[in-house]
Amino acid sequence: MIKKLKQHQDDFDLLISKVSSLKELKQLRSEFLGKKGCVSLMLNEMRSLPDDQKPQAGKHINEFKQSVATLIQEKTQVFEKAFDQTSVNSEEFDTTLPGRRNSSGSIHPVTQIMDEIISIFFSLGFKVEEGPEIESDFYNFEALNIPKDHPARDMQDTFYIGNDVLRTHTSPVQIHVMENQKPPLRIIAPGKVFRCDSDVSHTPMFHQIEGLMVDENLSFGDLKGVMNIFLHEIFGQQTKTRFRPSFFPFTCPSAEVDIECVMCSGKGCQVCSKTGWLEILGCGMVDPAVFKSVNYDSERWLGFAFGLGIERIAMLKYRINDIRLFFENDLRFLKQF
Ligand code: DAH
């Protein structure tokens, strides 16, 4: 029995030293440790030994079984590690696959319209001014002839920051400019404005352009002329416009300007609420109370001002029905412009 065991041990030592793959190792394991392997056979044979020899033989067989199992286990780990490495090294690289491209960006539609509007007014002699997005009550309301308790304050759902506000319109830039510059002047002020409002046609932040011209002998006719030139440039020369009397605390007289509906050409549709007209901007002659708050002599100087929402113009021009699309940053939407 001991002799046989010695022979098996020698066989195993030789075989395991020659093993060159996981497959061969598996086979070796079944030859020695499997159900019909040599260890099982020897344990069977052991039963026929005389009782006094059994413990001794059992001990040797078990030791042999242990050592075979350990060596196979060790060798398996060595092979597995080597296999992982070679599979990484030899991984096929398919040079025919298309590469990953960086998609190129595009100018945001709101910025595009803003740039277009700026260049139209630039050609009419207006220069660009900017103002802060956080304003005091004075600049956002008071100096624009919107005193406390004035109902016009309710028209704009204001975000308050302590005593200050997020500007609800770009009109306060008028005040900053007139405080710092002497007339005559022509400015436009593009920028972000904020109102606590959100639905298909409102977002809490949107963009406006404010315009202001101050000179001697300005008339409502000049305002009309400038607005018409602007609207014809943006929407096309055939676009019909109309001026409707309106009210703004900072202009008098005030008007709202409509264009003939771009969707139905004035026939009446859902977009224009069956009126055939779309409201585009507010404007008017600067109220003398505003000149007074910046110490301009309203006996000598006249002015006109206007304000418009950029997203609204972009929506009409590109036929977009939900303002929120501008701010979702979905590349499929943004790439179309
Ligand atoms: N500030 C106004 C608004 O946000 C727009 C506006 C209307 C500006 C008339 C003006 C103007 O300068 O004259 O609704």
- In angstroms, rounded to a whole number, what is the distance separating the alpha carbons of residues 59 and 5? 12
Q: Is the CB of 285 under 6 A from ligand 1?
A: no
**Structural tokens at position 329:** 């940053």
Ligand 1 center–CA 276 separation, angstroms: 23
- Look at the chain and count its residues: 337
Q: Is the CB of 309 under 6 A from ligand 1?
A: no
* Most informative mutation of 157, 171, 195 for ligand 1 (most atoms within 8 A of CB): 171
Q: Nearest C-alpha to atom 3 of ligand 1 is from which residue?
A: 169
* Most informative mutation of 135, 187, 283, 291 for ligand 1 (most atoms within 8 A of CB): 283
- In angstroms, rounded to a whole number, what is the distance separating the alpha carbons of residues 230 and 224? 10
Q: Is the CB of 145 under 6 A from ligand 1?
A: no
Ligand 1 center–CA 283 separation, angstroms: 6
Whole-model pTM? 0.72
Q: Is the CB of 249 under 6 A from ligand 1?
A: no
Burial class of residue 170 in the structure, from the number of CB atoms within 10 Å of its CB (0-12 exposed, 13-18 middle, 19+ buried): buried
Model pLDDT, residue 283: 98
pLDDT means over runs of 10, the chain (337 residues)? 86 89 89 89 87 88 91 88 74 82 89 97 98 97 92 80 95 98 97 94 96 97 98 96 97 97 91 93 98 97 98 94 93 90
- In angstroms, rounded to a whole number, what is the distance separating the alpha carbons of residues 334 and 302? 42
Nearest ligand 1 atom, CA 286: 13
Model pLDDT, residue 1: 80
The residues near 116 (Cβ < 8 Å, ≥ 6 apart) are 234
Model pLDDT, residue 155: 65
